[in-house]
Structure 1
Amino acid sequence: MRLRTDIFVSALMRRVFARGDFAAVEAKGAEEAGAVFVRQIFRDGTESLHAPAPQSFFDEDDTGRRLFETRLERAEAAAVTDAVARERRFDGDLWVVSIETDDLGDLIAFAGEEPKDDGFFRR
């Protein structure tokens, strides 16, 4: 069973703040099952956009973890803004979380990575 989106986003933000980084909810979507997009902002002004991984990455025995894939990497802010706008036209219930950090570390899990269990998120 997947964790509600509002709880996932809240926990993600707490983890970001605990690391000493900054995060903000740029767009709030469906509380129970909205897709989450992560906008990573680097110190040099470039940004990356991480989106939900396609369903083909999930096993039949899915543990409910959220997997991400990188859609844009170290692009100009305008390109990321345009990509988010296109996604919002397609799905108005999505969430956009902006995180100002040069390293996401273990904040989100990427498709194709080995799952991690840090005691809170099963990843």
Structure 2
Amino acid sequence: MHSERVQSSGNHLIAFEGRLTDCRHCPIKTDCMKNPQSDDTRKGHGRQVSFLVKGKRKPTATDWMKKRVHSLKGKQVYGHRMSMVEPVFGNIGTNKGLNRFSLRGERKVQGQLQLYCLVHNIEKLANYGAMA
């Protein structure tokens, strides 16, 4: 289990609690464990480690997303998305003229988007249905 807490000074306190087997492949286990070889046994109740990160900002959602997109799996997934999902939003936004919702409220906006998606799908069936 991993947790992070911001202190009043702006520093981040990062805490980790887990089984000894979680430490087995950790690159910093020699720094935080008195006996790094103890993770090779099944004895022991676990490990609790906390450390203070000074002067670093907390990672933002943008940082998290950049890491996901730039990974090998992320490149495959988002490359596929560009050919599958993005043209739908482009068609609905540009060709159908939905650049803003004309209704207010989550249920009404959801309904409006579903109607646009329905029109998009009917159009696809009309154009490409005979090919299937």
TM beyond 0.5: no
TM norm structure 2:
0.25
TM norm structure 1:
0.26
Higher percent of residues as strand: 1
**Which protein shows a greater Rg?**
2
